């Protein structure tokens, strides 16, 4: 949470005092929002005066003039003001911001206090063990990890969890395909990463299934009849029933193939830079879900149909009837989600449980949360679906069954190659040895990928273009990373010339700084508010937008003003301190996006 006496707080309190003194108004408990002034108007902070007109008995402009004059007279941090209709724009003094910068350089940032008594749990990744991670998983992982980091920065205790979908019919399809056509092949003998290896058999199953369907349809069956007559699908369902019955050979095959996949997942997650405090497995939670269903039947929340399947009627809530247990006793997705949620609530007593899942599952989570509430779990009110849009490529949508997905590992390889090509073209690897250059390509490639995805509001569908993401100009990760490296280079040169890095800066009322320099300090100051907004909205794009604007603001300052060539010692020390704090803030913001900030480029 933000430090109590912010500039907004000071302005708000002064406005309240002006209302009391000017209009004899009772202001106790009154909330007065203070906003940043829009770029097209002069000023730093804005107060909307329309709510005060009943107190002043005047029009908007005279009221704003009264309050503006009062603030200017009573507060040394107010340099001036202007009125635009019912908006009072307040200009703050440079000396206020110089003292703020000095305090920040000397004491560091004030930090945050824990914002809640109970932790926030964030569930993300959640892959199936029948295929490797793909581009959609990358967006999921990056959003989940970044939101976790942002919540921690905002003062929350966060538990990051992953739920591995290691059962149901999809996994059985891969298992059956390997049994039928694998001939004992392993990832090692095939020279493939384990998750890719198993995913290939999932694609093979779909290929063989379609061939079977085509034969049946050519024999005179309809598409629906062909699906019902499919021997392959029948065998896959039988394999699932054997698994749920604990058949030892089936369990052994399942464990073996899943172990291959887990090894592959670990490599990909590590490369993405994400990690989890706990990993849940659907195979261990679906039975808990059955216990919840049994409890719900006893309470009358669920009902059985004649075929033995269990349902819940949500038509009165504007939804429909929802299956929660099949007639043959096997679970559906919502079964295990119910069990897992109940288990987690008992283990961690969370205040919030955030599910990072694509927007195609919005209905599923509406149903899940409603069922939990009907079962009487009070903590269900803290469950939230962080719904995000799908990622598409210029070529269109991805289809995992057809093997047309963009594989996560392949994409990361491509990003690093693209980063290398772009960096070489721009000649940005002078004085780099081969190891340093390779690390730089990795840093830029992964930074470009993460930034390009996270700069888009999670709720929006996005189009991913690898080449565009590695551009060193514009709103990209490499642009921000290069700005950080530029500042680090400047500070190293300053130290080599005996000027220091700005850590000894002392503000002075004699120091005359420009409006652009003041704006840069204010931009640094805005960091905490951005973090709180991003945490409240579960939106990493706010952090990405902030760090881009900060980098852009600094580059304009850098091109307009001399730093090392400045002869005035006090002004030079100020600009070095400003540069040092900007680099630090860029680094902190990039960390929240899971990105590295290179010191050399």
DSSP string, 4-68: SS-HHHHHHHHHHHHHHHHH----TT-----EEPPTTSSSSEEEE-GGGHHHHTS-HHHHHHHHH
Q: Domain 124-392 maps to which CATH number in 3.40.50.620, 3.75.10.10, 3.40.50.150, 1.10.10.10?
A: 3.40.50.620
**What pLDDT score does 473 carry?**
84
* pLDDT band for position 400 (cuts 50, 70, 90): very low
Quick one: pLDDT at residue 287? Answer: 83
Residue environment code for 238-247, b if the CB has 16+ CB neighbours within 10 A, otherwise e: ebbebbbeee
Count of all residues that appear for the chain in the document: 601
Q: What is the mean pLDDT of residues 257-285?
A: 95
Contacts with 484 (C-beta within 8 Å, 6 or more apart), sequence order: 551, 583, 586, 587, 590, 597, 598, 599
124 sits in the region (left: phi over 0; alpha: psi -120 to 50; else beta) called: beta
Picking from 255, 287, 580, the residue whose alpha carbon sits closest to that of residue 263 is: 255
Tell me the pairing of strands 120-123 and 87-92.
unpaired
| pLDDT for position 176 | 97
8 Å CB contact between 519 and 426: no
Instruction: Please determine, for residue 404, whether its predicted confidence score (pLDDT) is greater than 70.
Output: no
DSSP sequence for 494-544: HHHTT---STT----TT----HHHHHHHHHHHTHHHHHHHHHHHT-THHHH
Residue 577: in which H helix or E strand, if any? helix 569-592
Q: Of residues 244 and 405, which shows the higher confidence score?
A: 244
Q: Per-residue confidence at 83, pLDDT binned at 50, 70, 90? A: very high
Q: Measure the CA–CA gap between 234 and 240, rounded to whole angstroms.
A: 10
What confidence tens digit (pLDDT) does each residue in 487-510 have?
999 999 999 999 988 777 888 888
Per DSSP, 316 falls in state G
Q: Are 290 and 175 in contact (CB under 8 A)?
A: no
Q: What was the pLDDT predicted at 556?
A: 96
H or E element at residue 322: strand 321-325
Average pLDDT over residues 202-226: 94
Is residue 449 within 8 A of residue 415, CB to CB? The reply is yes
Res. 601: pLDDT tops 90: no
Contact partners, residue 122, CB within 8 Å, separation at least 6: 144, 147, 148, 151, 158, 159, 160, 161, 354, 356
User: What φ, ψ does residue 304 adopt, rounded to 5°?
Assistant: -100, 140
Q: Token match 């340099």: residue?
A: 79
Tokens of 565: 């060539």
Structure confidence at residue 398 as a pLDDT band (50, 70, 90): very low
Which residues on adjacent β-strands are paired with residue 279? 162
Phi, psi (rounded to 5 degrees) for 388 = -125, 155
Q: What is the CATH architecture of 408-592?
A: Orthogonal Bundle (1.10)
Q: For residue 558, is pLDDT > 80?
A: yes
Query: For position 188, what pLDDT does the model report?
Result: 97
CA-atom Rg of the chain in angstroms = 29
Cβ neighbour number for residue 459 with a 10 Å cutoff: 14
- pLDDT at residue 271 greater than cutoff 80: yes
pLDDT band, residue 192 (cuts 50/70/90): very high
Q: Say whether pLDDT at 563 is over 80.
A: yes
Tell how far CA 48 is from the center of its chain: 32
pLDDT band at 424 (very low <50, low <70, confident <90, very high): confident
Band (399; pLDDT cuts 50, 70, 90): very low
Question: What values do phi and psi take at 427, rounded to 5?
Answer: 65, 40
Q: Provide the pairing of β-strand 158-164 with 278-281.
A: parallel
Q: In the prediction, which pLDDT does 102 show? A: 93
What pLDDT shows up at residue 403? Answer: 46
- Hey, where are the domains in the chain? 7-92, 124-392, 408-592
Packed helices 527-537 and 515-525: angle between N→C axes, nearest 10 degrees = 40
Q: Are strands 78-84 and 310-313 parallel, antiparallel or unpaired?
A: unpaired
Say yes or no to pLDDT of 2 above 80. no
Tokens standing for residue 436: 């340093």
Most confident region among 140-149, 278-287, 556-565 by mean pLDDT: 140-149
Q: Provide the CATH number for the domain formed by 7-92 in this structure.
A: 3.30.1360.70
- The token duo for 168 is 């149901």
Which residues pair with residue 321 across a beta bridge?
313
Provide the β-strand partners of residue 311. 303, 323
pLDDT at 113: 55
Q: Where are the alpha helices (DSSP H) in 90-134?
A: 94-107
Provide the b/e sequence for 184-194 (b: ≥16 CB within 10 Å): eeebeeeebbb
The better pLDDT of the pair 282, 55 is held by 55
pLDDT at 335 over 50: yes
Residue 140 has pLDDT above 90, yes or no: yes
- For residue 308 the two structure tokens come to 């033995």
**pLDDT tens sequence across 436-480:** 999 999 999 999 999 999 999 999 999 888 778 888 788 999 999
Instruction: Read off the pLDDT of each residue in 74-96 and give the average, rounded to a whole number.
Output: 96
Closest-CA residue to 587 (of 550, 555, 540, 541): 550
Partners of 352 in beta bridges: 120
Closest CA to 218 of 208, 228, 207, 226: 226
Does the pLDDT of residue 539 top 60, yes or no?
yes
Separation CA 580–CA 554 (nearest Å): 11
State the average pLDDT for the chain.
Answer: 92
As a whole number of angstroms, the distance between CA 136 and CA 404 comes to: 13
Enumerate the β-bridge partners of residue 413.
none
Give the pLDDT score at 111: 58
Determine the pLDDT at residue 37. 96
User: Each residue of 372-393: pLDDT tens digit?
Assistant: 999 999 999 999 999 999 888 7
Mean pLDDT of the region 85-112:
89
* Structure confidence by residue, pLDDT tens digits, 26-77: 999 899 999 999 999 999 999 999 999 999 999 999 999 999 999 999 999 9
pLDDT, average across residues 364-371: 97
pLDDT class of 108 with cuts at 50, 70, 90: confident
* pLDDT tens track for 215-252: 999 999 999 999 889 999 999 999 999 998 999 999 99
DSSP code at position 561: S
Q: Check if 7-92 and 124-392 are the same fold.
A: no
Q: In this model, does residue 549 exceed pLDDT 50? A: yes
Residues of the chain with pLDDT > 90, as a percent, come to: 80
161: DSSP letter? E
């Amino acid at each position: 949470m933000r430090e109590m006496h912010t500039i907004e707080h000071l302005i708000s309190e002064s406005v309240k005092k002006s209302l009391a003194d000017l209009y004899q108004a009772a202001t106790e408990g009154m909330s007065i929002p203070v906003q940043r002034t829009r770029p097209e108007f002069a000023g730093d902070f804005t107060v909307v005066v329309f709510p005060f007109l009943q107190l002043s008995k005047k029009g908007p402009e005279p009221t704003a003039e009264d309050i503006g004059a009062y603030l200017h007279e009573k507060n040394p941090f107010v340099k001036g003001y202007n009125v635009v209709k019912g908006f009072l724009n307040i200009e703050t003094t440079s000396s206020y911001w110089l003292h703020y910068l000095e305090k920040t350089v000397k004491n560091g940032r004030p930090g945050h206090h824990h914002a809640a008594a109970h932790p926030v749990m964030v569930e993300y990744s959640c892959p199936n063990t029948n295929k490797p991670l793909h581009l959609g998983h990358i967006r999921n992982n990056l959003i989940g990890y970044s939101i976790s980091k942002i919540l921690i920065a905002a003062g929350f205790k966060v538990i990051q969890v992953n739920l591995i979908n290691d059962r149901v019919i999809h996994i059985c399809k891969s298992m059956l395909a390997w049994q039928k056509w694998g001939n004992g092949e392993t990832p090692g003998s095939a020279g493939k990463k384990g998750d890719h290896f198993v995913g290939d058999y999932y694609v093979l199953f779909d290929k063989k299934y379609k061939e079977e369907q085509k034969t049946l349809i050519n024999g005179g069956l309809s598409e629906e009849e062909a699906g019902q007559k499919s021997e392959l699908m029948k065998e896959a369902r039988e394999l699932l029933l054997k698994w749920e019955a604990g058949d030892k050979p089936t369990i052994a095959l399942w464990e073996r193939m899943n172990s291959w996949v887990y090894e592959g997942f670990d490599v990909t997650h590590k490369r993405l830079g994400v990690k989890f405090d706990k990993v849940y497995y659907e195979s261990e939670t679906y039975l808990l879900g059955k216990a919840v269903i049994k409890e719900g039947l006893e309470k009358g929340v669920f009902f059985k149909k004649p075929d033995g399947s269990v349902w819940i009627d949500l038509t009165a809530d504007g939804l429909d009837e929802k299956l929660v247990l099949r007639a043959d006793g096997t679970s559906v997705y919502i079964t295990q989600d119910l069990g897992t949620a109940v288990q987690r609530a008992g283990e961690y007593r969370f205040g919030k449980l955030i599910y990072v899942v694509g927007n195609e599952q919005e209905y599923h989570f509406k149903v899940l949360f409603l069922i939990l509430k009907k079962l009487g779990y009070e903590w269900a009110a803290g469950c939230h679906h962080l719904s995000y849009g799908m990622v598409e490529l210029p070529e269109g949508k991805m289809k995992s069954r057809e093997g047309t997905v963009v594989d996560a590992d392949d994409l990361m390889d491509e990003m690093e190659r693209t980063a290398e090509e772009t960096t070489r073209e721009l000649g940005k690897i002078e004085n780099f040895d081969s190891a340093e250059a390779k690390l730089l390509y990795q840093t830029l490639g992964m930074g470009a990928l993460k930034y390009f995805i996270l700069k888009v509001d999670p709720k929006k569908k996005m189009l991913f273009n690898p080449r565009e993401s590695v551009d060193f100009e514009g709103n990209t990760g490499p642009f921000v990373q290069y700005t950080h490296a530029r500042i680090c280079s400047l500070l190293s040169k300053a130290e080599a010339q005996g000027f220091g890095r700005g850590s000894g800066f002392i503000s002075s009322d004699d120091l005359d700084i420009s409006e652009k320099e003041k704006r840069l300090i204010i931009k640094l100051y805005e960091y905490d508010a951005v973090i709180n907004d991003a945490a409240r909205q579960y939106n990493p794009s706010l952090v990405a937008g902030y760090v881009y604007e900060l980098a852009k603001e600094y580059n304009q300052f850098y091109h307009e003003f001399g730093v090392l060539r400045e002869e005035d010692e006090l002004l030079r020390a100020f600009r070095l301190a400003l540069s040092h704090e900007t680099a630090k803030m860029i680094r902190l913001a990039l960390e929240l996006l899971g990105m590295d900030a290179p010191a050399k480029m």
